[in-house]
Amino acid sequence: MFTEIVSSHDGNDSHGTATESHALTLLRRAYNRGYAIEATGQGGVVITWRRIALATHRPVLRSITLTPKLGPLTLTEQDLDHFRAIDSAKIVSLGRRDGARIITAGLYEIAPEHTDRLVDHGLVAADRNGSLRLTLTARLAALAKKHVSACAPQGRAVTCLCGFTVHARSAEEATQRQQAHQARVSAEFVDSLSATFTAAVAAAC
Ligand SMILES: [Zn+2]
């Protein structure tokens, strides 16, 4: 579940709640329309687009910000290892041992304190058949962790944690190249979400 804030050009933001399924629909719509999509480290997303204001005939920026309701979390490399294990196992189960919760993903077992972290922050959810899957929040947070990009102080070199690097001819071009990189990885992310994942999210509502 996400908190949803829709910004308006007149400053009257509207606040609401978005289910995981609704958030996924918003992401796909943004992707189809070529809107800017930026995943946040918390596992949320900011969608931004331009619209021509009827009154002034000038472009105005609009945005939708989705923030997970279960609060901020900074992912660790260990979280990402757990994500990979969960994503690659056919059956992922949540069980108990000595009263503590334990996630089992194939041959891989996630320790109780890490299981609590994944469950309590909404990074995993149960499918209809009881098997656990990663949530949209987990996938967005992982995307944001992988792609932290920045322009160098002199403003012409762009680097990203994923290894992307480019030397632009001007600070303006550097900003454009950085935005283009984020846009490309966000589009690839939406495109990569499987039909199985989409069906599981839709069934969760
Ligand atoms: Zn990157």
Q: pLDDT digits over 76-111, tens only?
A: 999 999 999 999 998 999 999 999 999 999 999 999
* 150 CA distance to ligand 1 middle (Å): 10
Mean pLDDT of the chain: 91
* 180 CA distance to ligand 1 middle (Å): 10
* 138 CA distance to ligand 1 middle (Å): 17
Is the model more confident about 31 or about 54? 31
* 164 CA distance to ligand 1 middle (Å): 6
> Does 125 score more than 80 pLDDT?
yes
* 133 CA distance to ligand 1 middle (Å): 25
Q: Exposure string (b/e) for 86-114, b if CB count within 10 Å is 16 or more? A: beebeebebeeeeeebbbbbeeeebebeb
Is the model more confident about 52 or about 163? 163
Joined tokens for residue 159: 């680097």
What strands lie across the sheet with 108-110, from one edge to the other? Answer: 92-97, 100-105, 108-110
> Does 46 score more than 80 pLDDT?
yes
Residues in the 5 Å CB sphere of ion ligand 1: 147, 160, 162, 164
pLDDT given for residue 205 in this prediction: 61
* 52 CA distance to ligand 1 middle (Å): 31
* 36 CA distance to ligand 1 middle (Å): 15
* 31 CA distance to ligand 1 middle (Å): 18
pLDDT given for residue 88 in this prediction: 92
Q: pLDDT digits over 128-148, tens only?
A: 888 899 999 999 999 999 999
Cα dihedral value 71, 74, 80, 82, nearest 10: -50
pLDDT given for residue 104 in this prediction: 96
pLDDT given for residue 127 in this prediction: 85
Please tell me the pTM assigned to this model: 0.91
> Does 197 score more than 70 pLDDT?
yes
pLDDT given for residue 52 in this prediction: 84
Number of alpha carbons in the 13 Å side-chain half-sphere of residue 203: 13
Cα dihedral value 172, 178, 182, 188, nearest 10: 110
pLDDT given for residue 20 in this prediction: 96
Tell me how far apart the alpha carbons of residues 135 and 56 are, in angstroms, rounded to a whole number. Answer: 41
Joined tokens for residue 132: 């656990």
Percent of the chain exceeding pLDDT 70 equals 99
pLDDT given for residue 120 in this prediction: 93
* 175 CA distance to ligand 1 middle (Å): 14
